[in-house]
Amino acid sequence: MLKIQNLNKSYKLRKVLQNLSLHINLGEIYGLIGANGAGKTTTINIICNLLKADSGNITINNQPISEATKKIIGIAPQENLLYKTLTCEENLKFFANIYGLDRETRQKQIKETLAAVNLLDRAKSPVETLSGGMQRRLNIAVALVHQPKLVILDEPTTGLDIEARYEIWELIRQLKNQGITILLTTHLLDETERLCDRIGILKSGRIVAEGSLAQLRTLIPAAEIVVVQTAQEEEAIARAKEYGFTPRRYGNELAFWLSESLELKEIISRFDGIAIDSIARQPVRLEHIYVEVTQQD
């Protein structure tokens, strides 16, 4: 559906994208994650033909990006594209007109799109009367009203409470079930884990790791990760190394990679004689993978 090959973009002397290459398959959710400044927004702007790349190629549905491909892309940016004094219905009508939908198609799409985001009963409500979660759903509806083949969701749950976040997650799953291809950018790694078929980790304008969560887990040679709290960290690290555990820090947490899963009592016995406040076992998570690949030179 979307193929990016050797994309480069610089602003004066600052290289934002450096030979960026990725592809998104038809009907999948692809998560693009990376720190602020990694190149996510620039990539999106080039895909939407709002910015020209210095070099490289992009095709969408086997077509080079152009004014024509804008009509097969829907985008829900992080900042809501909504007119707050207009109703939900009026907002969708405005954007449907921009995409050139005729009257009959426009009316049909507005109704179906509001139903898809569970806002049909609020069609006549001004946006300013909606909750934050409802406004995010309407923002996604704007991206859907012209029936695009590729939908770009930029930080779709930023600032939402957990209940509203769950509603957006369920909506994204429904879009996938309808065969819509989705490019998702987010800083929430648990969101990426839950929703995405494949994940690309972006650093300094390059994809440094890509694949399904299962494939990315192979980048860390650990069967599980053990997080230890202790005042005797140096002693714990030295003891862990004796047993072949690999020490790592995730924020303030001291963790160890275990090459094989052990029973909890076996893990505790490895630290016999060291004052341990707590031990927690964890699977290899996307946050562990992300930290590992982005901290490599």
Q: What is the tens place of the pLDDT at every residue in 212-238?
A: 999 999 999 999 999 999 999 999 999
Burial 145-158 (b: 16+ CB within 10 A, else e): bbebbbbbbbbbbe
Token digits of residue 266: 């076996």
2-217 and 224-295: same fold? no
Q: Which of 14-18, 65-69, 241-245 is predicted with the least confidence, judged by mean pLDDT?
A: 65-69
pTM score of the predicted model: 0.91
User: What percentage of the chain has pLDDT greater than the value 70?
Assistant: 100
Quick: pLDDT tens for 269-278. 999 999 999 9
| Residue-range domain boundaries for the chain | 2-217, 224-295
Is residue 241 a contact partner of residue 194, using CB atoms and an 8 Å limit?
no
- pLDDT band of 297, cuts 50, 70, 90: low
Q: Which candidate, 3, 2, 4, 30, places its Cα nearest to that of 176? A: 30
CATH pick for 224-295 out of 1.10.3470, 3.30.70, 1.10.10, 3.40.630: 3.30.70
> Does domain 2-217 bear CATH number 3.40.50.300?
yes
- pLDDT tens for 166-224 read 999 999 999 999 999 999 999 999 999 999 999 999 999 999 999 999 999 999 999 99
Mean of pLDDT values over 139-161: 93
pLDDT at 296: 73
How much is the pLDDT for 127? 96
261 close to 225: Cβ distance less than 8 angstroms: no
- The backbone torsions φ and ψ at residue 42, rounded to the nearest 5 degrees and listed phi first, read -60, -40
